[in-house]
Chain A
Amino acid sequence: MAKSLLFPEFKIERDSNRCISCQVCVRQCANDVHTYDQEDDTVTSKEEQCVGCQRCVTLCPTNALQVDTKKTGFRPNASWSIQHLRNLYKQSETGGVLLTGMGCDQPYRIYWDHLLLNASQVTNPSIDPLREPIELKTFLGAKEEMLDIDWNHDFPVVKTKLAPQLELNLPIVFSAMSYGSISYNAFRSFVEAAREVGTYCNSGEGGLHPDFYPYGNNIIVQVASGRFGVHRDYLQVASAVEIKIGQGAKPGIGGHLPGEKVSSDVSRTRKIPEGSDAISPAPHHDIYSIEDLQRLIYAIKESIHYEKPVSVKIAAVHNVAPIASGVIRAGADIVAIDGIRGGTGAAPLVIRDNVGIPIELALAQVDERLRQEGIRHRASLVIAGGIRSSADVIKAIALGADAVYIGTSALVALGCHLCQKCYTGKCNWGIATQDPYLTKRLNPNIGKRHLVNLMRAWAFEIKEMLGGMGVNSIQSLRGNKEHLRAVGLTREEMQILGVKPAGEGW
């Protein structure tokens, strides 16, 4: 093949004093970067094929390898970045839409990093979470406007029939990643961790493998525009059903699952031919209005006998607040909003990086709008898209979220190194692949342990921060923007977030 204009993205440095030619790198690279030369007993590397997943670097027993972004000799140009040039070369050679994986990596402002939390001093006591209980329990679902209570002597008896709820031990849910986009072992790690932690994991739009039906009490199933693997048992086995309208990484278009990842097992679960691309339609073809959405919500509620909440997931777009309001009025018990930094297994690069708005702004606006309309209680808000730490979780709660979805953070706990090549099906970490050589690399026992550890650590940290604020229940922080202050934001941004500048008191 003639030399491509595409220059290597990564530079592979092999320290020959350390390399023992053990060929672990050769065996572990799904992109065939490293080759062993028996004659010379040396390993050489083809940088053109390297995606920077760091698998070889991590497994090299002598730390002989270093994979770095390659410096290019291009004349510096603020307008024509290296990424722009790469994309131009690639498209001129292929004529196709550029695909990518994971969330938007562009340097749009991350508002979490401009929000600071409060703590108690002198006038109100802080709480020590190691000595006093702090409650993280969260219920997702529609709440009653008013409770009708009867008294049985001294005991109150709730007469109102309560709406179905999801009970979470901490306000974190594993976000929608379908079987197909991620491997069986990755999916198993999620469901088992969700069960152990006492939270939920979202099945994504790819149906539910029969092996995971017993975990229904910890699974939210998704009904997306492709309707893959949706049938009665699928809806009834889950704890909640989510209608996916949009996804933060690709608002306005449907899910993509490249045919490379449609293995026989995935094809059976999705009910589509093996090896065929699973491209979900952009809209649901039965939803063209809020009224249509209402019909689908109630069709699903009928099929699950009104026993479980129904969620609607939308992407954070410009008009998100009125849309969320409409969604709630259509009968959704939970509204999930996915911001621009939300991840994906495959999306057009141009859409991922240019469509949608940051979740922080969307969340603040939706919460505010719903309060103004007096319908905030009618649905829980779950937000997604770029939650990187327990601090982001607690800031999201203070901005008005009931819970957060985590996708990328959880994948990183499973070993993901954000190489953004999920769409190729060659994930060297065994996560976003269906290749039996690669899926084995994720041992679900280790995966589950890592996820449980992460949730445990975050729960501790959230309790510490809550205690510092003098709040003993996450419920009391929800939507309490007085606990947040902004640094380095414009007046408009602070107004949209509903947060005062740092330095301003009550």
Chain B
Amino acid sequence: MKKIVIYEEYCIGCRLCEISCLVKHSRSGKIIKAFKEEYPRPVSRVHVEEEGYLSFALQCRHCVDATCIEYCMTGAMHRDEKTGAVVCDEEKCVGCWMCIMSCPFGVIQREKKERRIASKCDLCGNDGEPSCVTNCPNEALSYEES
């Protein structure tokens, strides 16, 4: 399957990946509307980790041996058979946060919606290249076959 590969030596810490992820997962899909009019504001599923000049954008690694799937009590967290991506079925998610507790990368978070559900990178629904990769101005993220 194709995965997002991180090239931290080119990450410039601008966080445009976070912005594009947020917009991609917003209701309107429009950047100004997503930031100014959508409440609660959608959350980005990618996060730039920074220490000194080292920075990189981290999102779900879609582990082969995914602890979040193992720990999910409702079976909401599952592997998409077609794409191999680890995704959360929002209908089944009850917001127990076991996935958040178990994720070794800390890339799952709480979605600020009416219901308590887990939010994580879904590779943009396998809708071509993920938004964070497309919008990185310095090619610090790339979508590669692994």
Contact = CB atoms under 8 A, between A and B. Distances in A.
Contacts of A22: 15, 19, 35
A53 to B, nearest CB: 14
B53 A437 contact: yes
- Secondary structure type dominating chain A contacts: loop
Interface string B7-42: 001111111100110000000000110011000000
B138 A446 contact: yes
Interface stretch (A23-31, A332-340, A352-360): A23-31
Given A61-B19, A443-B140, A436 B14 contact: no
Among B14, B15, B20, B32, max chain A CB count under 10 A is at B14
A59 interface: yes
A436 to B, nearest CB: 4
A21 B15 CA distance: 12
B95 interface: no
* Size bin of chain B's contact surface: 20 to 34
A18 B10 contact: no
Contacts of B35: 20-22
A495 to B, nearest CB: 50
Interface of B: 9-16, 19-20, 31-32, 35-36, 53, 135, 137-140
B16 A59 contact: yes
Contact of A24 (B16, B36, B139, B140): B16
A440 interface: yes
Nearest to B23: A61
Contacts of A27: 13-15
Given A22-B35, A27-B15, A440-B53, 7 more contacts: A17-B32, A18-B32, A20-B32, A61-B135, A440-B9, A440-B10, A443-B139
B14 A440 contact: no
B35 to A, nearest CB: 4
A445 interface: yes
Nearest to B10: A443
Interface string A423-437: 000000010000011
30 contacts: A18-B32, A20-B19, A20-B35, A20-B36, A21-B35, A22-B15, A23-B15, A24-B16, A24-B19, A27-B13, A27-B14, A27-B15, A28-B12, A59-B16, A61-B16, A61-B19, A62-B32, A430-B12, A436-B53, A437-B13, A440-B9, A440-B10, A440-B11, A440-B12, A440-B53, A440-B138, A441-B12, A443-B138, A445-B139, A446-B138
B126 to A, nearest CB: 24
Given A22-B15, A24-B15, A61 B31 contact: yes
Contacts of A18: 32
A59 B10 contact: no
A61 B53 contact: no
A187 to B, nearest CB: 15
A24 B140 CA distance: 16
A240 to B, nearest CB: 31
Nearest to A440: B12
A24 B53 contact: no
